[in-house]
Structures are given as structure tokens and as C-alpha cells.
A and B are shown apart, each in its own frame.
Chain A
Amino acid sequence: MDFLKLTVHELRDKLRNGEITSEEIVKGYFDRLEKLEDKLDSFLTITKKEAIKEAKKIDERLKNGEKLGDLAGIPVAIKDNIVTKDIKTTCGSKILEDFIPPYNATIIEKLKSEGAIIIGKTNLDEFAMGSSTENSAYKVTKNPWDLTRVPGGSSGGSAAAVASGEVPYALGSETGGSVRQPASFCGLVGLKPTYGLISRYGLVAFASSFDQIGPFTKDVEDLAIVLNNIIGYDKMDTTSVEVEKKDYKNALKDDIKGLKIALPKEYFDEGINKEVKGKVLKAVKVLEDLGAKVDEVSLPHSDYGLATYYVLAPSEASSNLSRFDGIRYGSRVKDYDSLDELFIKTRSEGFGEEVKRRVMMGTYCLSSGYYDEYYNKAQKVRTLIKKDFDDIFKEYDVIISPTTPSLPFKIGERNDDPLAMYMSDILTVSVNIAGVPALSIPCGLIDGLPVGLQIIGKAFDEETIIKVAYNYEKNSDFILEPKMGGDINEL
């Protein structure tokens, strides 16, 4: 079996026509994973025994002639900030080193009821704060395309696991680009759904008005399949939205004739790597040749997206992370003389540098005397950024840009400079600020490293961005296969 290339829909077909069993699939992926993990460090926890047990149950049900869904019997990996009952969930933080959740996130319940097989929890920047997966308290995940480079972040473990064929698909989460940016860096399809499409119940909160769970897949068909199974209103998440049940597979069709594409000039300016820009414009040409209409437009407040994000997201984070106090769960220091000292020491030892920086930033922006200058100001700029998108979507179906301003950078390269790290999200954060959906799809290689094309859509119009991505994928002409360094490719 060529696990490096197999997609969810191919595995499903093989499973249905009896070519392979779920147990064989799961064991096959574990064999590969066990050989690769030393080099990649994608996973924090592996759940092999339980996964094989679940796979056997699926095989039994298939043998009994039961009709099962698209995800049944197929392995999935979960970012370690999504809570899993009885499976350790660390958020990549020391403060949750031994945390065993007593309940499942809604999305986990959904996957389980579909017969999906969870094979483990993936590495991330601590509490999803970062763009390289270097901020994990446990390990640094490597990019399968070049082991000296970062896989992106914060969902870098999920991205590296799928790109290297350790698992056929995975879930990550986004607050400012944490699915799209690693999807771009690892040569995958990655989606940030419309805010509210997927329940956040059980996704450990970073910035509640931004956070969304999103999938990593190898192709667009897999994206449609996975999305079908994870969306929906949840009474446990009051910010989830009731939408009409859709089959996103219906979006996998040709026809993009007359589709209107907007290219925001601010997303193609001098700060963007020239070669990256070139690949993206080449992809736009492919869509144009298929009958789409392309215009240059302006999103005038783009330049303020990152600053808005770095006020609002840390503000929400500083409030959300106050729950880590060493009382109800998480670690607690041994020595303290008072309750206050217990809080301070527990948090100071439990959080890493970037998490502290964001908690500090948020606390500062919300503090007396600064609230209006920073927090309220940023909420107003958010209105303007959202309006920029609303205005464009009155006339256009999708907005297209590069996903990231540069190629995957070297491990350690930006670690010491927070602003340089933040800059890698400059083309993704505004989407989260506006709450609209966007995906990243590979659009070529530069020096053996993947480039991502970002397709942004109207709120709750995932179908259109999936349709555009599908049409591009079918008509693009490059081959994606990570060179993981020497012998790994032979596995």
C-alpha cells in the first residue's frame, strides 16, 4: 500500500470492495508512523491499542453487511487542543502535562459515531499560539518536505502527519491561520470554515471569537467528505450556527465559467516573495482559462489586520487562560505560602514564553486606562476589515491570494523575534477577523518546497471555495510528493 499517497476516498473504496480491512489499514499506518516519528515528531500521544480495537469492530460491522459512512474504519489524527475522553490532552503545554479530559469534544463524538479511527494526538504550538510548532513544550515538529524547516503552525503536527503519510487526514484548529499556513507549508489542502460552522465545544479556548476547527486533507474531494461529517449546530456551543444540512460533495463539479475572482492588490505587494506570487498568479491563469473572470481589487484595511489580531486575540486569550490556576485541573507547583503565590508560581512555571507574551499583551490591552486605546479601537478596526470583505463579496464570488508571504522557514530562524514570526500570518489573519471561510491548496513547488493558494469565500459559502479548489486541482500540472530525506521516502 502506498500510504504516502492514499486519500480518504481511495481508502473508503478499497474498504468497501473488500480489498483491505480497516485493521490492515490502521496497522499499516502505525507501521509507517513508528518508522517516521523519530524524524518528524508529529505526535504527542499515540492510541494504537484502542485504534486497532475500534478497527476490528468496523471490520465486523462491514462483514455483517452494514452500510457505513465515508470515514468509517479510516484513521484520523487530532490536534492536541481538542479534548478526547480518557486520552491525554496537553495543548502542547506543561501546565496540562497530565490532563485526562473527562469528556469528548463534540467533533470527537461526531467522528466516533461515523466510525472514524483516532490514532493519536498531534503536536502544536502551546495553546495554539505560534506559527511554526516550535513553541510546543514537548517537541519540535519537522516539515516532511525538508526536515530542517518548520511545518508551520500552530497545527504543525497534524499537517506533518498527513503530508508524510502517517495518517490520511487530520484535524487542526485556527485562530489566525493555524490550519491554512501549515497546509501551505506542507503541501496540503486545509480549510478554515466560517466561524460557527463547526462546534467549538471541547476545543480548548484560545480566542473564542476567532477559534474554529479545520481539516487537513490530501485533496479537495477528501476535504468535502470530511467537512460533511463534522459540521452542524451544537447546543453545547452557543456560537455555533444552525445551517441547512449540505452535501459538500455536490461542489465537486466542473463549471466555473463566469465565476468572479477578486485579487486584492494588498495581498500581492512587495512584502510577498516574488516566486510565491508567480506561482499564485499562474494558478489564477488556470482558473481564468476555465472561464473565470479576474479583477484586481482593494481591501484597504489589510495593512491593519495583523495589528488588530494581535490586540484582540491576546485579549481574549488572557481571559480564557485565567482558568489555568492550579486548582481544578492542570499542574500545581509544590511550594507556595499563599493562594496568590500558588497562582503566580503555577502559571509562571507552567506557561512557555509565547503564551506569557500573549497573556501579558491581552492583560495590558484590557487594563484600566488602555482599554479604549487598544481593545475598543481594535474592535472598531475589525468592523472596517469585515466591511472590506463584505464590499468585495457584493460583486465577487471568491478572493484569491497567496496563503503565506514566504516559503517554509528554517527551524530556529524566527524563534527569537516574535514580530518576524507573526508576519507569517499576515495574509491569513484578516479572514479570521471577518469570520469568513478560506482554504489553502497547493499550487506548485519552489526549490522543492510547496506553495499555497488561498481561496476566500463568503460566510457559509464553503461550496464555492471547494468548487474553485476542485477545478484548480483537476487542471493543475505539478506532482506533490514530499522528499523526506533519504530512506524515509522508500517506506
Chain B
Amino acid sequence: MSISKEDVKHVARLARLDFDKEDIEDFTKKFASVVDYVEKLSEVDTEGVEPTYHVHPIKNVMREDKVCKSLDRKESLRNAPDKENGYFKIPRVLD
């Protein structure tokens, strides 16, 4: 198996996810099966092949720098789980 429980814990930290002790075994097994499957890409000779990040050749679409209609503050904050004085509220990050 290509992926260990430790690998899963490391990637989970990067993804801001956490797995319960009782779930991690099963998750690792299934996750490893997917990683093992995509390994087959290594069989393909891609020497000299350019990557396709996007099917249409669109690059840096710009617009004029002028003020457009946007959501007002009340609407923007409508779905916020916590807010105060017109701002999104988060726990203290500085001591």
C-alpha cells in the first residue's frame, strides 16, 4: 500500500481536516486504493508534452478599472456565522 496512516494525518493537516481514530484506518485503506489507481498515469510517456491547464486558450481576462454594482454589506454578512459592527467575526489570533 502506497499510503500510510501517517501520510493521511499529514495531508489532513494541510487540508484542515481531522479524522477520528476509529475512522482513520478505513479512510486510509480507501484513500490508498484511489492513489494506487491513479499511479497508472506513470505508464504514459509524456516526454515533451505540454500541460493543458485549460481547454480554451484564455489568459488574464481584464476589465476596465471602474466601480461596478456589488453586494451591500448587509447582504454580504447575511450568511456569516458570527459578525459584529459590520465585520465578520473570528476568534482572537493575536495575544
- Which positions in A face B, CB cutoff 8 Å? 98-100, 102-103, 195-196, 209, 235, 238-239, 241, 301, 303-304, 306-308, 310-311, 318, 322, 325-332, 336-340, 342-345, 347-348, 351, 353, 356-357, 359-361, 363-364, 367, 373-374, 376-384, 386, 417-419, 422, 434-435, 459
Contact = CB atoms under 8 A, between A and B. Distances in A.
B5 interface: no
Contacts of A345: 18
A357 B27 contact: yes
A56 to B, nearest CB: 28
A348 B34 CA distance: 20
Given A418-B33, A419-B33, 15 more contacts: A102-B78, A103-B71, A306-B37, A310-B37, A332-B81, A342-B90, A343-B16, A347-B17, A348-B17, A351-B17, A360-B15, A363-B15, A367-B14, A377-B41, A380-B44
Interface in B14-55: 14-19, 27, 30-31, 33-35, 37-44, 46, 49-55
B56 interface: yes
Contacts of A326: 81
Contacts of A102: 71, 75-76, 78-79
Interface residues of B, number: 48
B49 A380 contact: yes
Given A342-B91, A351-B17, A386 B38 contact: no
B61 to A, nearest CB: 4
A344 B14 CA distance: 10
B67 interface: no
B44 A381 contact: yes
Nearest to B58: A239
Nearest to B48: A380
25 contacts: A209-B55, A235-B63, A238-B58, A239-B58, A304-B41, A306-B37, A307-B39, A307-B40, A328-B79, A329-B81, A338-B93, A339-B91, A339-B93, A356-B27, A357-B34, A360-B12, A360-B17, A361-B35, A364-B35, A367-B11, A380-B50, A381-B44, A381-B46, A418-B33, A422-B37
Given A102-B71, A307-B40, A328-B88, A379 B33 contact: no
B91 A239 contact: no
A122 to B, nearest CB: 21
Nearest to A349: B18
Grouping DSSP codes into helix (H, G, I), strand (E, B) and loop, the A interface class, with mixed when no group exceeds half, is: helix
Contacts of B52: 379-380, 382-383, 386
Contacts of B18: 344-345, 348
Contact of B37 (A103, A322, A382, A419): A419
Contacts of A357: 27, 30-31, 34
A340 B13 CA distance: 10
Given A360-B8, A363-B11, A379-B53, A348 B35 contact: no
Question: Of B12, B51, B52, B53, which is in contact with the most chain A CB atoms at under 10 Å from its CB?
Answer: B52
Interface centre among B8, B55, B80, B90, by most A CB within 10 Å? B55
Contacts of A195: 55-56
Nearest to B62: A238
Given A339-B93, A357-B30, A239 B54 contact: yes
Contacts of B63: 235
Contact of B19 (A98, A348, A378): A348
B34 A344 contact: no
Interface string B68-95: 0001000110111110000010110100
A304 B40 contact: yes
Contacts of B27: 353, 356-357
A343 B18 CA distance: 10
9 interchain residue pairs of minimum CB distance: A435-B55, A379-B51, A329-B79, A332-B81, A238-B61, A380-B46, A102-B75, A363-B15, A383-B52
